[in-house]
Chain A
Amino acid sequence: MQRETRIAHYVVGLLTALSLVLLSLPLSSPVRAFKACASYVLYPLAYRGERGYQRIAEAPARARALLSADVENGDLRDQLRRTLWLRQTVESLSIENDRLRRAMRLKPPAARHPVWAHVMERDPQRWYSSIAVDAGADAGLSLNDAVLGRRGDDLVAIGRIVEVRPNTATVLLLTDQRSAVAAYLSSGTLEGLAQGQDGPHLRVNYLNAEARIVADDTVYTSPTSATFPPDVLIGRVARVYPRDPFLAFQSADVAPALDAASLQEVMILRARPGPGAPASALVGPLPREASAPAPAKTPAPAAAPAAQEAR
């Protein structure tokens, strides 16, 4: 016991002296070398400890993530199966559609590419007639491209391109007297021809004489329209004219869904440019979508709207 105590005295004296040297000369080479050695030996404990602790600490989160990934994987596999089935259905329907089109000798619908343009000019003298937009041949526009406006989230039929310049184009509004578009009423899918009146309203003519037209009914572009895609909003029925016994059709006034005065930008549905098509053209004669309607008292043929619009 005495011996151990004596040794302890010596050892503590030695280590105290060593410690004091370490404290006194922290920047000397031997002390720095000693500190480097001590760090090399002892520091990995903290480093490895931290790494190991992180692994252990992350284990529950990783297990949770693994479980949720497994559940998600199952859901995605189901979804993938449904998608594959849906794709096969679509492919078979597409094939069937092509076959039926060929059988009926129908042309496939024209592809359209939207182009946004700003309204750059509006003539007060011709407020309901036309506007100019800042896109032209440079944007790939061509004659009779459909022009749509935006009201909230809905697209609204506005007019069509009648003049194309290199950087600008002129849009003939639906409210212009020279405009006409095949349209249908939502209540009874009644087809008619919506024609401009050079005023705030359109007039839908050639509606079935026996049909019951409801005011405030919604008017959309018809699938038979040569210019517009089907089911684009035009407006609402504002007034139904009394039935004329001498006419074979009815007429109604339509308030356009979008006021021409509120147009800021428009979407132009650019038709796919065909090979050799002129890049730019200044229209000579105005390409009317429909000529003047048949005068009153002339019974309209069954396919009158489409025929007149396509003329």
Chain B
Amino acid sequence: MRILRGSALFAAAMFLQWWWNTHLAYWGAAPQFLLALTVLVAARRGPLAAILIGWAWGLYADVLRADLFGANALLYALAGYAAGMVRRQVDLRAIGPLATAVFLLSWAYALSLGVLGMIFSKGFVWIGWPSLLAGPIMNALAAAAASLIWEAGARG
């Protein structure tokens, strides 16, 4: 049952990310639900689950783009790993630290993606000002909302 629910949530998150990107993204800015959820999984389930799930979600994000195949998989897995490591010092179950971690990891993601582009592609991959400025905030909000939903689901 738990596997089924996990699989459904796994697929639902990918669907949500695709749907938001396709139909609700304005000026190129959309929350990275998969990144936020990876951090949330790390906070709730530990680094191992977050790494595996993050890598799979990153692979999905890579499939949808034409270049740098594997970049998102790497960065999401690293984000899950980092969050899993951080949760030992910081209580990421609380919304504030979780949102902060997601916010910082989003900046790190943007920077790392640019560097990966510089190494494996023609140059620094610039995600754009709207995504750079609004993306981390939206990611933090998404992580907070997902955390609340997770909490409610766990209580129910």
Contacts and interface: CB of A to CB of B under 8 A. Distances in A.
Do they bind each other? yes
A243 to B, nearest CB: 88
Contacts of B18: 45-46, 49
A35 B19 CA distance: 22
B64 A12 contact: no
Secondary structure at the A interface, as helix, strand, loop or mixed, is helix
Nearest to B12: A45
A8 interface: yes
Interface string B124-139: 0000000000000000
Contacts, number: 83
Interface size class of B (residues with CB under 8 A): 20 to 34
A49 B46 contact: no
A273 interface: no
B78 interface: yes
B71 A23 contact: yes
A21 B22 CA distance: 29
Contacts of A43: 63-64
Interface string A1-41: 00011011001100110111111101000010001001100
A109 B55 CA distance: 89
A53 interface: yes
Contact of A15 (B60, B63, B74): B74
B88 to A, nearest CB: 8
Interface string B19-50: 10011000000000000000000000011100
A26 B74 contact: no
A23 B47 contact: no
A8 B73 contact: no
A8 B63 CA distance: 25
Contact of B77 (A15, A26, A42): A15
B150 interface: no
A158 B84 CA distance: 100
B116 interface: yes
A50 interface: yes
A35 B63 CA distance: 7
Interface in A39-88: 39, 42-43, 45-46, 49-50, 53
A143 B77 CA distance: 97
B77 A19 contact: yes
Contacts of B14: 42, 45
B69 A31 contact: yes
Contacts of B48: 4, 7-8, 11
A111 B69 CA distance: 79
Contacts of A22: 62, 69-70, 73
B102 interface: no
A310 B27 CA distance: 84
Contact of A50 (B22, B58, B84): B22
B120 interface: yes
A270 B48 CA distance: 94
B69 A26 contact: yes
Contacts of A8: 46-48, 51, 81, 84
A16 B78 contact: yes
Interface of B: 11, 14-15, 18-19, 22-23, 46-48, 51-52, 55, 58-60, 62-64, 68-71, 73-74, 77-78, 81, 84-85, 116, 119-120
